[in-house]
């Protein structure tokens, strides 16, 4: 029979493997620096939510996809044409230092006028409708927000934006991947209060104000709480360190500011999430901490269902291997 110490060692080894995996993940800046020393000729732009590569040549839709897919993967994820699932992301891209007065192709070919979708299967929600089948979406870079979106023939050479290509996750399924429980205390279901009072109310439930540290979490909140329109977020402005910081000290750089830009350093206030319409998955805004808003609390559960299953299987296989290697144990 395997001893407790061996089981404990296996647990620790598995945990360290997971820790090493996350530690070895590249940041966007590290990827950009490494890519500058390889075959990538054009600067890479890093934002709080994605990595963008801007092609140096004008190409057709299909040739541009190949150019993107030939880029070195980012943390194992292959590049493809950019997919823009919200107006907020488009506004962020427009503010990046691009070539002016040129068109940039995006990752959408309208095979169906009635139901155009992005290349990863995400629904198209940006408003401008294709006049006919077979056209591709692009925008004119003029630094104006909102950007001018147009559909044109896919064979026309255009500059292109690439990003790591992730599969579309419907908001209804996003919560399955989250390692937290979100709730509104029953006694505060219809109450709007200040940021400090909201955090205190969550702490009374052994919880904290909710954080949104990834696109999946953003989608989950959209599915569960968009009807609130606006609610407090567990993101604080650390004036001494001159940066915005999650209240659980998580180092996630995910930010989805409503105007596409972080408020100026030194700006005072607290952060809310706004859901201005069904065409947006929500955005962050800095407001006076004494304003009254709804709030959502969060309790970390530590592991989602898939994580628990994977961890259990890994430990089980390791234990079985130990049994086979050491029959006398």
The verdict on pTM exceeding 0.75 is: no
Q: By the 8 A CB rule, do 74 and 164 touch? A: yes
Phi, psi of 217 (to 5 degrees): -65, -40
Range with the lowest mean pLDDT among 3-12, 227-236, 294-303? 3-12
Domains, the chain, in order of start with CATH, read 22-164 (3.10.100.10), 171-303 (3.10.100.10)
Q: Which of 155-164, 207-216, 261-270 has the highest mean pLDDT?
A: 155-164
- Encode pLDDT of 73-117 as tens digits: 988 889 999 998 777 778 778 777 766 668 889 999 988 777 788
- Encode pLDDT of 130-162 as tens digits: 888 889 999 886 656 667 889 999 999 999 999
Nearest 5°: CA angle at 145, between 140 and 148? 30
- Encode pLDDT of 6-47 as tens digits: 334 433 433 334 333 334 567 788 887 776 655 444 578 887
Six-digit token string for 162: 């690439």
Burial class of residue 38 (count of CB atoms within 10 Å of its CB; 0-12, 13-18, 19+) = exposed
Range with the lowest mean pLDDT among 17-26, 94-103, 230-239, 271-280? 17-26
Closest CA to 280 of 110, 188, 146, 106: 146
């Amino acid at each position: 029979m395997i001893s407790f110490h061996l089981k404990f060692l296996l647990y620790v080894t598995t945990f360290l493997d997971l820790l090493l995996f996350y530690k070895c993940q590249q940041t966007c800046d590290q990827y950009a620096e490494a890519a500058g020393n390889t075959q990538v000729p054009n600067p890479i732009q890093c934002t709080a939510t994605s990595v963008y590569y801007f092609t140096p040549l004008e190409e057709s839709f299909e040739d541009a996809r190949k150019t993107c897919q030939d880029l070195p993967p980012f943390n194992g994820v292959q590049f493809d044409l950019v997919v823009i699932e919200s107006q907020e992301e488009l506004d962020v891209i427009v503010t990046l230092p691009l070539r002016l007065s040129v068109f940039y192709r995006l990752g959408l070919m309208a095979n169906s006028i009635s139901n155009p979708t992005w290349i990863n299967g995400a629904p198209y929600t940006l408003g401008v409708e294709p006049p006919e089948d077979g056209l591709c979406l692009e925008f004119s870079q003029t630094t104006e927000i909102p950007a001018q979106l147009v559909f044109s023939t896919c064979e026309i050479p255009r500059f292109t934006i690439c990003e790591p290509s992730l599969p579309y996750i419907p908001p209804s399924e996003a919560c399955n991947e989250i390692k937290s429980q979100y709730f509104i205390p029953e006694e505060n279901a219809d109450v709007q209060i200040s940021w400090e009072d909201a955090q205190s109310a969550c702490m009374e439930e052994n919880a904290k104000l909710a954080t949104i540290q990834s696109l999946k979490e953003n989608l989950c909140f959209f599915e569960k709480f968009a009807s609130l329109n606006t609610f407090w977020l567990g993101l604080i402005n650390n004036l001494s360190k001159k940066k915005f910081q999650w209240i659980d000290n998580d180092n996630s750089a995910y930010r989805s500011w409503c105007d596409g830009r972080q408020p100026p350093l030194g700006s005072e206030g607290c952060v809310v999430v706004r859901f201005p319409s069904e065409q947006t998955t929500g955005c962050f805004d800095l407001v006076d901490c004494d304003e009254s808003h709804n709030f959502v609390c969060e309790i970390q559960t530590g592991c989602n269902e898939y994580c628990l299953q994977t961890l259990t299987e890994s430990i089980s296989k390791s234990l079985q291997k130990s049994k086979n290697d050491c029959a006398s144990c």
